[in-house]
Chains A and B, each alone.
Chain A
Amino acid sequence: MRESSPLLAGLRKRIARLAADGGFESRRTEGWLASGHASFDAAIGGGLAIGRCHEFFATDALDATSAAAFASLIALRTPGKAPLIWLRTSDAGKRTGHIYAPGIAELGGDPDRLLLVETADPKMLLACANDAIRCTGSAAVIVESWGKFPLLDLTAGRRLALGARDAGTTLLMLRLNAAPAPSVAETRWSVAAAASHALEANAPGAPAFDLELLRWRGGAAPARWRLDWNHDEQSFREAALSGALLPLPARRAMASHGAAAA
């Protein structure tokens, strides 16, 4: 025991030093990717922290589009022209569908900001992700994977998270058809589609999301929200209860406009 105590003291000192110069959580974040919904942002300390890694799990394989849309919209609603780098494997187009720029434009996002990178396999995906997060100037980097992704172990995840922190880029891991597992992510979400608020004649309304915060390094979890996306204001907002009366004047104006057109 006596021999080991100087060793232990040395190790403790080393840990203290590591923690002092940029230990994993000690560095302050440069800002947040905010959703625009005040109570949602406040609950997670301002939004998704920039320079960190955030994970989005699709609750079900069919919720892949909702998860992808939520991650990209929260990145694309930042002002400016900073590109959103989207990495996926080339079989993703067949599984979840090709990213459809006119659809993104109709959601109010700017498709010109998208830089799509397709890799042949998950190994290359990880290698390219490591390069992409070290490149400053992007709005965010989305890494889309399907299934378990065994290559993304704790070491690989930590390397990505450290790279993102050093370069100040935000990494959004889109984990489709996978079960949430421990990782170094700052926040971990489960995203599902929610029933939209019906429009005139029972037409599907604005995109609605069912969000569950599974983990947040900064504090309490889990929590649930139901948000929908307002492309006119480029922000998320509380979803109106399905079937309720039309609460917003914008909707009413639109509905009467629709009636006039009909």
Chain B
Amino acid sequence: MRLSSVDAAALGVGLRVGMPLADARAQIGELTVVPHDPVLDQDWLDRLAQGCARYSPLVALDAPDGLILDIAGAEHLYGGEAELVRDVERRLARLGMTLRHALGPTADAARALARYQTRPAPDEAQAIRRLPVAALELEAEATTALVRAGLKTIGDLASRPMANIAARFGADAAMALRRLLGDAPSPLDPRIALPPVVAERRFAEPLGSTAHATKVLAELAGEAIEALGERGKGGRHFRATFFRSDGLARSIAIETGHPTRDMGLVMRLFAERMDSLADPLDPGFGFDMIRLAVPRLEALGATQLKLEGGAVRAANESAAIDELADRLATRLGRGRVRRFRPADTHIPEQAQLELPAADAPPPLPWQEPDPGEPPTRPFHLFDPPQPIEVIAEVPDGPPHQFRWRRQAHAVRRYEGPERIAAEWWRRRDNGGLTRDYYRVEDAQGRRFWLFRHGLYDEKPDPRWYIHGVFA
């Protein structure tokens, strides 16, 4: 086992990353060792990134231990770059994080400066030129080759023709150099895309109570809905982010089945969501900023409400059902409130789709029943089908008696087989076995849907299953 990361005190006494744990223990008697958990690290970095969304909406993760913020146009809110950096440092220090930062003209330049800068420089351009070639983060051999060739800094490299660098060290090296120097774009991959409608409020004094925060959220919802109304849009997805003064943040999101500008509905859904949180919203030292973003918009015309008449009443009733579906989906999870849609296949268990009510597509026609015929598909379907023991008079004949859930059923009436072949055009292995379905009725009048999985010439001893129960 080796050390994957050491803190400042450990560095001070001579421990280094990559050192065997046994050696470190031999050097320092009372060493505190914590197992490395990359997933937790990633989680924590993500939470820090969420907290940093207060400075700029464009925050990108630089795993495993970096964050890149695009603060262009946002620094004046804090009274300049230096003030903003001080604020970041102060908040992260409260969380026990040590910070190494740099400002740069491009994301890659800032990143390289933060990670590789060793000597001070009069300005940014000079600082970049003084970076060691390791800042290009090429493969170890390429870096060694560069240093052997006497090219120790980015400045040395930049003074050579780009074509020669590409020829000697590969196109990657040339590209990395151009990115560092700002000649090629270095796009950010923000953690969360910029939402089209945002309302936010900052507080001089942190809010200590959740109730007060909810009140502010309602005001923000009012502002956001006004902005939506001006654009003729309605929101489908609302996300409230509560920034705590210690630098962390908590996001709570709701979703609606139809675009809405109904403030009451939005706030009811937020209340529902907060009630159903496993760990309640914790103000900690207080919230000093609340942001409401509407990441998903859809067109919604102006509406006229509260007219007398049947059409409006019907519209109100369907709106009431939609609201119920939204509320239950917010409480239970969106996948637990579902609608049914047909799927174009004859494999019974795939013939219906159960989709979240919030994003079910418009209805498609279902298979019409044949006049005068009893239903050929069951009311309840078992997925996966349940194995049963069947006695048939002749091997590939209809079932005579079967045993399901430790109970024997004598077959009185049957119809079949309805032969359903596997979808050989979809799968390379011809899709599996053919099924022979029988509709059977037992002595008590219960109707079942049984099938034999495989024909006798496909398989020596095909098994029987019950796939559904008819009304």
Contact = CB atoms under 8 A, between A and B. Distances in A.
Interface of A: 62-66, 68-70, 73, 82-83, 85, 90, 93, 96-108, 110-112, 114-120, 124, 128, 131-132, 135-138, 192-196, 198-199, 201-210, 229, 231-232, 250-251, 253-254, 257
Interface stretch (B47-55, B287-295, B367-375): B367-375
A105 B321 contact: no
B372 A65 contact: no
27 contacts: A65-B379, A66-B471, A83-B321, A90-B336, A97-B379, A99-B380, A100-B377, A100-B378, A100-B468, A101-B352, A101-B366, A103-B378, A103-B471, A105-B368, A105-B377, A112-B339, A112-B366, A115-B338, A132-B324, A136-B317, A137-B316, A196-B413, A202-B414, A203-B413, A204-B415, A232-B371, A254-B372
Given A98-B381, A232-B371, 16 more contacts: A62-B446, A69-B379, A99-B381, A102-B366, A102-B377, A106-B369, A112-B339, A118-B336, A118-B337, A119-B336, A137-B316, A195-B441, A204-B415, A206-B374, A209-B471, A254-B372
A65 B380 contact: yes
A64 B378 CA distance: 13
A117 B328 contact: yes
A196 B414 CA distance: 11
B388 to A, nearest CB: 13
A231 B375 contact: yes
Contacts of B412: 195
Nearest to A210: B445
Tell me the dominant secondary structure on chain A's binding face: mixed
A208 B325 CA distance: 33
A207 B331 contact: no
A157 B357 CA distance: 28
A117 B317 CA distance: 18
Interface string B369-408: 1011111111111110000000000000000000000010
Nearest to B446: A193
Contacts of B415: 199, 201, 203-204
Given A207-B447, A232-B371, A106 B441 contact: no
A62 to B, nearest CB: 6
Interface in B84-141: none
A204 B328 contact: no
Enumerate the 7 nearest inter-chain pairs by beta-carbon distance, A residue then B residue, closest first: A137-B317, A97-B380, A69-B471, A254-B372, A203-B415, A195-B445, A105-B366
B356 to A, nearest CB: 10
Contact of B374 (A69, A73, A199): A199
Nearest to B471: A69
A196 B377 CA distance: 16
Contacts of A118: 332, 336-338
